[in-house]
């Protein structure tokens, strides 16, 4: 279960990094690698334990799970934004795009990858 959760976090981090950097001057293999490492750390520390807890009763494409992932993603993204000096990230459309994208991609990968594997066992 933990190895699958790590894989979910890694795949989600890669997707989020690529989407975040498209059209950016930082779009490069090195940029994707750096952003993937950053997002992977956040997924590993926050999303993976939450995912393991929620998957005690696995539900594929559960709207409730998506809502929970969004709440946690919003809180963490807000805290990180404030640490980096953004006084009120809630006035930024980029903030909402980022936290919704992070939660949604994690939920998709979780539902496709982990839930499929969980239902086989």
Do the beta carbons of residue 96 and residue 78 sit within 8 Å?
no
pLDDT digits (tens, 9 = 90+) for 37-53: 999 999 999 999 999 89
Q: Quick: pLDDT tens for 76-95.
A: 999 888 888 888 888 988 89
pTM: 0.85
Phi, psi of 69 (to 5 degrees): -60, -40
Question: Are the C-beta atoms of 6 and 48 separated by less than 8 Å?
Answer: yes
CB 13 within 8 Å of CB 40: yes
Q: Which of 98, 30, 28, 93 is nearest to 70 (CA)?
A: 98
Mean pLDDT score across all residues of the chain: 88
């Amino acid at each position: 279960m933990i190895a699958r959760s790590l894989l979910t976090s890694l795949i989600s981090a890669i997707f989020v990094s690529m989407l975040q950097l498209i059209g950016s001057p930082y779009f490069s293999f090195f940029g994707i690698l750096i952003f993937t490492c950053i997002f992977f750390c956040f997924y590993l520390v926050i999303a993976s334990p939450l995912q393991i807890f929620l998957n005690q009763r696995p539900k594929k494409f559960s709207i409730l799970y998506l809502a929970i992932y969004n709440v946690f993603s919003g809180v963490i993204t807000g805290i990180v934004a404030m640490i980096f000096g953004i006084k009120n990230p809630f006035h930024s459309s980029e903030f909402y795009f980022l936290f919704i994208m992070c939660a949604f991609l994690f939920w998709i990968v979780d539902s496709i990858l982990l839930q499929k594997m969980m239902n086989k066992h």
